[in-house]
Structures are given as C-alpha cells and as structure tokens.
Amino acid sequence: SYELTQPPSVSVSPGQTARITCSADALPKQYAYWYQQKPGQAPVLVIYKDSERPSGIPERFSGSSSGTTVTLTISGVQAEDEADYYCQSADSSGTSVVFGGGTKLTVL
C-alpha cells in the first residue's frame, strides 16, 4: 500500500526553525497538505496545495515541495506550536487518500 513517510519526532527551541518532511514516490504528481493536531483536539489544516496557507494560519507556517519530498517549515517556533503534524496526499491514481504517520514537534 502507498505510504507517506514522516520522521516520528522533531525538537526545536523557541524562536528556532522547525522543518518536518514527508516523502513518497507520488508526491511529484500529487499535492500535499499539512495538519496540526493538539492533544484532545481535531486536526486543523495549516497548509494546502503544498505551500498555500489558509486564512487564520500564522505566516510562520510555510510549505514547500521538491521531488518526492514536501516540507512543512515553522519559522520562529512558539510554545503553542507544540503538536503532532500530519501530511496528507493521494496515491498515484489520485483517488485514495493517505496520511503520513505523523511527527511530534517538541518545543524545548
């Protein structure tokens, strides 16, 4: 089955830049999306179509794509950014949705 691969954890100090990657073979052909999930809450969309930011999402959140890897970048990380982050895309057919395994961002 098709999989999106994320690192299990990323740690950064406040004010630093956090980068979370997501890799898969079909990513050059499919958009990727990113969600933030805090404990006990539903996921919230933070990036769509690789690099677009929904209204209400702070500018410190950005996304990029290069080949088979997409990256969520959080610049000037704040304590409130500590959460699980999931990438989402589709398989090569475009019809079957898949989520990455999630990355726990720890703000030291």
Partner 1 sequence: QVQLQESGPGLVKPSQTLSLTCTVSGGSISSGGYYWSWIRQHPGKGLEWIGYIYYSGSTYYNPSLKSRVTISVDTSKNQFSLKLSSVTAADTAVYYCARVFLMYDFWSGYYYPNWFDPWGQGTLVTVSS
Chain centroid to CA 71: how far? 7
For the sheet with 18-23, list strands across it. Answer: 18-23, 69-74, 61-66
**Smallest distance from the beta carbon of 14 to partner 1, in angstroms?**
26
- If one asks whether residue 9 binds partner 1 (CB under 8 A), the answer comes out as no
Helix (H) or strand (E) holding 74: strand 69-74
Tell me whether residue 60 or residue 104 sits nearer to partner 1 (CB atom): 104
- If one asks whether residue 28 binds partner 1 (CB under 8 A), the answer comes out as no
For the segment 50-89, give every residue that binds partner 1 (CB under 8 A): 54, 86, 88
Count the residues of the shown chain that bind partner 1, applying the rule CB under 8 A: 24
38 close to 83: Cβ distance less than 8 angstroms:
yes
Contacts of 26 (CB under 8 A, 6+ apart): 2, 89, 90, 91, 92
Contact pick of 11, 17, 66, 96 for partner 1 (by CB under 8 A): 96
**Smallest distance from the beta carbon of 15 to partner 1, in angstroms?**
28
Which among 10-18, 21-29, 66-74, 91-99 is the span making contact with partner 1, rule CB under 8 A? 91-99
